[in-house]
A and B are shown apart, each in its own frame.
Chain A
Amino acid sequence: MSHGVNSESLFDRPLPEDYRREWTAQIAEQRETHVRQTQSVLVFRIGAEWLSLPIGLLEAVVPRRPVHTLPHHRGGIVLGLVTLRGQLRLCVSLAKLLGIAEATESQTVIGVGADRVIPRYLIIGERADQRVVIPVDEVYGIVRYGPDAVRELPATLAAGTRYTNNVLLWNGRTVSQLDGALLLYAIERAIG
């Protein structure tokens, strides 16, 4: 019986403060990680801005190759032609379309890890006749996020932007969530 008394007193014993705090923290954290991460975007950087596009619009991320400029197209968003994967592709400047200042040497430091800052091309577009190549200064990768990571644009900002739906909180930064369909539409119009 003494065994029973002992065990009872064990259960009645007050919990150590540390133990309780530890569990509280753990349970709280677990709930957080269980929030469903439903959306996937590709996060990349142009100049000083971090941007994201729905994964569905992305065909590939490829290394940069020389672009052949087109005569009489200087100043527009069309940068020229580039061969990627054996195909001639149209290269357009997202930076120009969005009005982002082009990267300067000092800005490359903004990269998440200095050793992985490699300028690349994104091939985007839903249909083959829509695809374009856009140069970006850095690709972070695919980010999955849940609804709680999305913030609406402040009203003052919303009035001045056209292609950004919301912003995404990610690693302590804000990332613009671009409206892919609208972006493709604008690119198509600017090319023609």
Chain B
Amino acid sequence: MDDSSQVPMLDLFRTEVEAQTAILNDGLLALERDPAALERIDELMRAAHSLKGAARMIGYTAAVGVAHAMEDYFVAVQESRVVPTLDAVDALLNATDLLARLSHASEMAIISGDVAEQGEIDAIIPQLEAATAAKPLASPSPSPAVTAPESAAPVPVSAESADRAVRVTADNLNRMLDLAGELLVASRWLTAFMGTTSREARKGVTLDTITHAVAELESFDVRLGRISQRLYDGILASRMRPFSDGIQGLPRMVRDVARALGKDVRLQIVGEKTNVDRDILQRLDTPLGHLLRNAVDHGIEVPDERLAHGKPAQGVIQLEARHSGGMLSITVTDDGRGVDPESIRAKVIERRLTDPDVATRLSESELLEFLFLPGFSTRQEVTDISGRGVGLDAVKTMLKDVGGTVDVVSRPGAGMRFQMLLPLTLSVARVLLASVADEPYAIPLARVIRVLMLVPDDINSVEGREQFLLDGEPVSLVSMRDLFDIGGTAPARRRFPVIVVGDRALRYGLVIDEFLGEREVVVRPLDARLGKVRDVSAAALMPDGSPALILDIDDVVRSIDAYVSGGRIGTVRSSASDVTDTGRHARPRILVIDDSLTVRETERKLLEGAGYLVDVAVDGMDGWNAIRVGQYALIITDVDMPRLDGIELTKLIRADARLRSIPVMIMSYKDREEDRMRGLDAGADYYLTKASFHDDTLLRAVADLVGEHVA
């Protein structure tokens, strides 16, 4: 479940704006294609409505006004008071962009109501109001295409990215089809071969028939291996995209950043056609953005300074991708001022990042490594473009994730060069296979320090902790059965297989049951629903098709660390407890149902602050499921929601024998008397308007219904 309780309200608001403006953009573009297609008006109305509510929640009057004007317009369309025009869609799109920009205003500006965009707001609201007031079916209005052609073709529903589509060239697909065909033929050959062989065997088996059969089988094996490898290569190749696909936004970004800083920078891209695994390409976006921003901000000097140093006024950043020694190499080189290793040394000493003695002996490359530390910046002021350090930290993390490295070379006065080396693909890994309790685990070879067999004499015990000497240094031993809480006992034996993992500073010996050997495996991601599984990074298939787990060694080292230093590592989490929790806790559990993230989180925070346990659901249907599965002392629901609205939900609850006694509270923006009556008629115990967030009405009402609770 999401844990956003620590996130500031403004961030929540921004997240919500991002989500709702995406809906608005999609819907408006569909409307622009065909103004008569009104299927998405409800969705648009809800998006504007949610934005208004979210803006109101954080007291952002400027944004409330814009969202309100948009909502009014959509309502007018819903009620057929106006017919959408292209002009109106244009204005709405502008308003959507404006809201997106407004969401990035500083907290100060939002509170004071003094936003830079006030002029635009003042311009756009009257436009929207005019559009809302327009007469329907009036004589041809000046705007083009007022009504859609009679035979309006159905609007293609926006491409819902349910399935991730992958572009494959027809050539490549045909090649794979050919190979699959060959594979099919080969498998038929085997059937025929077995038929012939068994017929011949009935006539009597001779050494000759056996030799013959084996020879045929051998050649078959070679053929099958070749076809399979080619098929696999073909499929792998279809995962590749040219480097240029992943960097489309970068030239514009470099240009914009340079301009903002008064610099003149040219981005030169080499190796645009280099093939890159699409997963890696996708993950390169952020690190490349950081590296380029850093280069523009910290590397390249302003034109005057460059000229003074005898360099051309225009700085050049070169981004190059190529295959090198079975790896993908990506370099970012700038011709700026570079970094003076001595300034890093000074910083290291000043910040006491290491012993002053050690610091004075650090080599240049060791000093440059400090640039990748989180929060390490050699600049005094941190700009909003990039704070060197924060970004480089992210680069390092990404590379570690995919099993790559990053190297940096600085030539003070002449520029810097970052080189990233990444695996060509994430779908194959070389691993060491180990068996524990008859289940296979895979350890990436790159992370195995040593593999050894220990005899009991090698192991000694210090305060109950077992260890052994590796190159004269003591290394702690941990049994994987204990670490993973697998239980049972390893088969009795005289020698213990041990895998040493960790880093230079911290090494651990992992005792397993048995080595299964080294192998190249196809990496399969874990089911996304599991989230991050501790100590595991992915799964792989064994030759017999059964699964093996690929260990996340960084995680494992942390787990061992916790295990060795503090006894128990986190208790076994009972995943089912969330659902089957039968109210053993005395704290009442409340379900909050609202399609607005901001409202949900506000209510959650408010209620958790008052000592209640809170679950959230994103719409009526989600809420209805949660109510039937969970055990709630109170349900707080919004009215306008997709799939199932709050009124219908309340009726469902009241009609269910088991659930009817749960108190229901409706929270809505609608404050007219008839809205209130509708809610109470459906069976709600309380009807509150969302204005009650700002005083203690909500908490008092909750205390009324479920009793007070102090955390």
Q: Name A's B-contacting residues (CB within 8 A).
A: 65-66, 68-78, 81-83, 86, 88-90, 96-97, 99, 127-129, 155, 158-159, 162, 181-182, 185-186, 188-192
Contact = CB atoms under 8 A, between A and B. Distances in A.
B527 A90 contact: yes
B658 A72 contact: no
A74 B485 contact: yes
A191 B529 contact: yes
A83 B535 CA distance: 20
Contacts of A97: 576, 579-580
Given A71-B484, A189-B578, 16 more contacts: A65-B546, A66-B546, A68-B440, A70-B530, A70-B536, A71-B483, A71-B536, A72-B572, A81-B549, A86-B545, A88-B524, A188-B529, A189-B629, A191-B527, A191-B529, A192-B530
B439 A186 contact: no
Contacts of B570: 72
Given A68-B548, A90-B527, A191 B628 contact: no
Contacts of B539: 68, 81, 88
A155 B585 CA distance: 27
A30 B485 CA distance: 61
B489 interface: no
B112 interface: no
A71 B535 contact: yes
Interface in B514-550: 524, 526-531, 533-536, 539, 541, 545-549
Contacts of B484: 71-72
B151 interface: no
29 contacts: A66-B546, A68-B440, A68-B546, A68-B547, A70-B533, A71-B536, A71-B549, A72-B485, A75-B572, A75-B574, A76-B573, A76-B575, A78-B530, A81-B526, A81-B527, A83-B545, A86-B545, A88-B526, A88-B539, A88-B547, A97-B579, A158-B658, A181-B625, A182-B628, A185-B626, A186-B579, A186-B625, A189-B629, A190-B576
Residue among A66, A89, A190 with most chain B CB within 10 A? A190
A5 B657 CA distance: 70
Contacts of A90: 527, 529-530
A66 B547 CA distance: 9
B1 interface: yes
Contacts of A127: 162
B652 to A, nearest CB: 13
A68 B580 CA distance: 25
B578 A68 contact: no
Contacts of A68: 439-440, 539, 546-549
Nearest to A70: B533
Contact of B579 (A73, A89, A181, A189): A189
Q: Identify the 6 closest CB pairs spanning chains A and B, nearest first.
A: A76-B575, A71-B484, A185-B625, A68-B547, A81-B547, A90-B527
A83 B546 contact: yes
Nearest to B575: A76
A64 B629 CA distance: 29
A81 B547 CA distance: 7
Contacts of B549: 68, 70-71, 81
A73 B439 contact: no
A159 B529 contact: no
A72 B657 contact: no
A94 to B, nearest CB: 11
A65 B528 CA distance: 22
Contact of B574 (A65, A76, A88, A155): A76
Contacts of B528: 129
Contact of A191 (B530, B541, B548): B530
Interface in B451-490: 483-486
A31 B86 CA distance: 64
A71 B575 contact: no
A89 B536 CA distance: 16
Given A88-B527, A90-B527, A186-B629, A77 B536 contact: no
Nearest to B574: A75
A82 to B, nearest CB: 7
Nearest to A65: B546
Nearest to A86: B545
A162 B485 contact: no
B572 A185 contact: no
B573 A72 contact: yes
Nearest to A128: B163
Contacts of B534: 71-72
Contacts of A83: 541, 545-547
Nearest to A73: B575
A120 B384 CA distance: 59
A75 B541 CA distance: 25
Contacts of B575: 73, 75-78, 190-191
A50 to B, nearest CB: 22
Contact of A77 (B541, B576, B628): B576
Contacts of B535: 71-72
Given A65-B546, A71-B484, A88-B547, A192 B529 contact: yes
B576 A96 contact: yes
Contacts of A185: 625-626, 629
